[in-house]
Chains A and B, each alone.
Chain A
Amino acid sequence: MIPKVLISVLLLLLGYAFWTLSVGYAPDTELNRTAAYYAANAESEVGAPNIVTGIIVTWRGLDTLGEVTVLFLTSAIIALVLSQSGGPSGVSGADFLPSGELLTTGARMLVPLIVLFGAYVIMNGHLTPGGGFQGGAILASGVLMALLAEPTRRFGHTAILRIESLSGSFYVLIGLAGMAIAGGFLDNGILPLGQFGTMLSAGAIPLISVLIGLKVGAEFSSILQSLHETEDA
């Protein structure tokens, strides 16, 4: 009991700090200089109507690269953890109850749609809300559904591996290309900005989004798969 009380006291004090933050908080009336700059130069610099995507992919591209890396790391490490953990080998789960007819059929019908939707979200990342991460997540959800529908089903690890490696490497290469022929590392100006607001515009953003989407999807899928393989009766 004592620890609970102690923790509560600590958290109350921390809460006091937060409380001062939130009472002291006054929302800006004007965009601060950074945001204002983005708003003003979204068209001219990155040519992406969706400023958020512009920021993510270009201006703060390094964060995004890191982000992708986080997922990459996670999937790699999880693979490590589980490979070492002396759990049941991959072919477990054979004795699972087959998932219901409904789920199987639904999956058969939905997975293609989900994948399609994912692709759409990825491709339009620079125009509408969405982008590589969101799309990649959607793709992975398709994989998840497939896994749920057929517990015994296995995706080719190597295939996933190839995809994540390739997309990752390409991402880095594009970044370097930006350094070589454009303003700097991860500059999307390596391709022409094109017609503002159209599908094939905003320089390398769509391309990068695709790579991100593929990579994220692949990472999620491998994570899901690794976790899935740990299931045992």
Chain B
Amino acid sequence: MSQIALTCGFILILAGLYGALTNRDILRMIVAFTVANTGVNIVLVAVGYLPGRTAPILDSAVPVAEAAQRIIDPVPQALVLTAIVIGLGITALMLAYAYRLFRLRHSLDISNFTELKW
């Protein structure tokens, strides 16, 4: 189960990276990165998963006493939330940059922005 999730996550990461590294269109790159981020997030939650357990919320179903036996690992869930938000922030930032770049040169081709080199 978690193997599958992991594998999916990794595949998404690789696919995203491939897209980001082969598409010269900046918008496509950004999209590709979001895909990769999604992959990362999947990997995160997948790691926290324990077979046959429930969400880390203490209610009538999960009394405090046996919580340790009943719930899955809450930490990755906490982490993934942060990761998502940060990823979103960066994506938004990249979009803004993309707009700025377009204004600069009326092109979204990454290979047109290479005057800084050597």
A3 to B81 CA separation, bound complex (whole angstroms):
35
A40 in contact with B68 (CB, 8 Å) = yes
**B110 contacts partner chain A, Cβ-Cβ < 8 Å:** no
Q: Complex formed: what's the CA distance from A122 to B90 in Å?
A: 24
- Among A14, A56, A128, contact of B81 (Cβ-Cβ < 8 Å): A56
Interface residue A183 (Cβ < 8 Å from any Cβ of B) = no
B92 proximity list for chain A (CB < 8 A): 74, 78, 223, 227
User: CB distance A42 to B73 under 8 Å?
Assistant: no
**In the docked arrangement, what's the CA distance between A197 and B60, Å?**
10
A191 within 8 A of B: no
Partner of B99, one of A21, A23, A85: A85
- Cα–Cα, bound, A77→B100 (Å): 12
Binding site for B on A (CB under 8 A): 3-4, 7-8, 11, 14-15, 18-19, 21-23, 25, 27-29, 31-32, 34-36, 38-40, 42-43, 49-52, 55-56, 60, 63-64, 66-67, 70-71, 73-74, 77-78, 81-82, 84-87, 128-129, 133, 197, 223, 226-227, 230
Say if the beta carbon of B97 comes within 8 Å of chain A.
yes
B residues with CB within 8 A of A = 1-3, 6-7, 10, 13-14, 17-18, 21-22, 47, 49-51, 55-59, 64, 67-68, 71, 73-75, 77-79, 81-82, 85-86, 89-90, 92-93, 95-97, 99-100, 103
* Cβ B50 vs Cβ A51 within 8 A: no
A42 close to B64 (CB less than 8 A): yes
Q: Contacts A31-B68, A40-B68 hold; do A22 and B100 have CB atoms under 8 A apart?
A: no
* Assembled-state Cα–Cα distance A202/B96 (Å): 39
Q: Kindly list the 3 A-B residue pairs having the minimum CB-CB distance in the complex, ordered from nearest.
A: A74-B89, A18-B10, A39-B67
Pair B22/A43 contact, Cβ less than 8 Å: no
